[in-house]
Each structure stands twice: as structure tokens, then as C-alpha cells.
Amino acid sequence: MKAPADSAARPAATFQKEFHRRWPHLRDPQVRSLAWLLEAPGLLDASDERWQGRIATLDGIADAEIAAWLHKLDDDPQALHVHLDVRPFSRLGRHAEKLMSFYLLHRGILVAHGVQVRDGNTTIGEFDFLLRLNAQLVHWEFATKFYLLESSGAGADADYFVGPNLADTLGAKMHKIFDRQLQLSIHPAAQTVLPEPVALAQALVKGWLFYPDGDARSSHMYGTSPSHCRGFWCALSEMENHSGERYVILPRLQWLAPARLPWQETMTKSALLAHLSAHFADDTMPVMVARMVEDGDCAIEAERGFIVPDDWRTRAGQRVQLGRSEK
């Protein structure tokens, strides 16, 4: 087994640096998450021929008007908080959809959000977003995903990116989006809920991909964007080799934007290891952590990664092989 690398040996977390440079004054966690959704590169390369022009992109985030809107929202985020209606057990995917719908409403292009298509008592599917773009009705399928590259090195396609809970893979998700969900508008049952025919159906996919500690593969795998947001993953027993001094555990609803919080809320590596050891004694779900550095009286994220239980690597390999055998 390859020895885990020191954090300094991994590719630089350039997205975090640029995000902190662009948004140094944003403090509200929900506003920061919204800024990330608008600015983060998509997971998929819009220019890759395999997607046949069906990748949606967000335009205009660099505009001074949008930047001013986000800063004003950060000063008074109440309207965003009411719109999100965050609950203790809110799902991250739905949370991200609400964040995106808030922006699309602001842009004045949202026709409908979360429109279910039913055939009798059977739910056929759901339109994530119906938009008015260039005087046409456009369907956007929206996803915010987090996948870890299985570490055997046996494959270099999306089937080898697995979810932290091993429930799905990037390949399976893309198959579902492009072969099923983006076809929803042509289903006969969809015609009863659409105000007019859909002119274009596209996928807007955001998220982070995580690579085995020290693995620099990340640029052109299975149509992924070369600039996608990325992090590391390693087993708990390998975490001792990391040179970071201060960390935080990121709750699920804070998985989107690079973290910023008071310095006193960070923990030492020894405290982190103790917490993780206790967690994995009862729970096999990987934990996302961020290595933090000082920025004035605050701590800002330098890099992030999933810490997994020591048997996760074996189970991830089994999950990949099972998925490929079912094709």
C-alpha cells in the first residue's frame, strides 16, 4: 500500500484561495454557500463531446451587480434564511436547490421549481428547474454531489468515483441524469404540467471530488472539468501523517463553500483524532474535515478532505466492482 502523503505533497487547494480572495467580507454561512454555488466550476466539462451540449453553466457571477447583491445579502440575510427554512435534518441536495432557486428568482428567470410529473398514482419524475431563457422554456436538472475516487488505480472513469456512504457512484448519477431525467419533458404525462414545450434540457452539476491522499489524478477523467473543486481522502490511521495543526469538522449543510469561522472553534489534530475514533466506533460514515489557517481573528479553510474508517477502502473497491458487474 502506498504510504500516505503529507498535505504539502498534494495539489494546492487553489479554489479555496481564490474564493477567500474574492469574498473576504462574506460572513453569513448561507450567503457563502450561495456564492460558492454561483462561482464554483461545474463538475462536468461543458466542452466535452460526450455531454452533447447538455451542460448548463451560470453566467454573470463576475458581474459587479451580482457581487454587490451578495454583499448586501450578507449584511441582511433574513430573506434568504426565510426562503431556505433550514431544519436540523435538512437534506443537502434540497438545501442547495433552495439556494439556487433564490438566485434564479432574483434573476427573474425562474418559471417553476420542483414540478412533479405523475401518471395516475405513479410519480414519473420531477423538473428541478423550469426557466425562461432567451424567450424559451428550458429545463435544468440540478445536482450537488460529493464523490471519492476509489484507490485501487484500476479504473479512470466515473464508475470509480463513489459516494462517501457507498450508496452510488458518479457514473450511475450521470447515467440517471442524462438518460432519464433530462428526457422527462418528452414523456406524455409531462405535457399536462408544462406551460409550453421544453426547448432545451441541460444538467447543472456542482460539487467536490476527493482523491486518495497524495494522488494528483484530477484533470480529464470521464468528462470532468479540469478546474473542478477537489480535496483528499484518507483512512483514520493515515491521518497522523498530516502536518496540519488546526481542523474543523464540517457539518453536512456546510459542505458547499470553503469554511470561515472564529479561530476558537477550531480543534487540534489530537482532538480531531479522538473525536473521529469515537465516531467510527459506532458509525461507518466518512467525516468531512477542513484544515484551517489563521486569517486575522478568524480561521479559513486551506484544504478539505474526507476521513474514512480503516476498512472503507476495501468496501469502496467492492462497491465499484458490484456496480460494474450490474451493467
Domain boundaries, the chain: 7-325
What local confidence, expressed as pLDDT, does residue 139 receive? 98
pLDDT (tens place) for every residue of the chain, 327 residues total: 233 334 334 445 689 999 999 999 999 999 999 999 999 999 999 988 888 889 999 875 557 889 999 999 999 999 999 999 988 778 999 999 999 999 999 999 999 999 999 998 899 999 999 999 999 999 999 999 999 998 776 566 788 899 999 999 998 999 999 999 999 999 999 999 999 999 999 999 999 999 997 565 544 567 888 889 999 999 999 998 888 899 999 999 999 999 999 999 999 999 999 999 999 999 999 999 999 999 998 999 999 999 999 999 999 988 888 766 666
| Exposure string over 304-325, b if 16+ CB within 10 A, otherwise e | bbbbbbeebbeebbebbeebee
Please give the span between the terminal C-alpha atoms of the chain, in angstroms, as a whole number.
29
pLDDT at 217: 55
Looking at residue 82, its pLDDT comes to 96
In the chain, DSSP finds a helix count (H) and a strand count (E) of: 8, 11
Where are the alpha helices (H) located in 250-290, listed in sequence order? 269-282
Residues 6 or more apart whose CB falls under 8 angstroms from that of 208 comprise 146, 228, 229, 230, 231, 255, 304
pTM: 0.91
Q: What are phi and psi of 144, to 5 degrees?
A: -125, 110
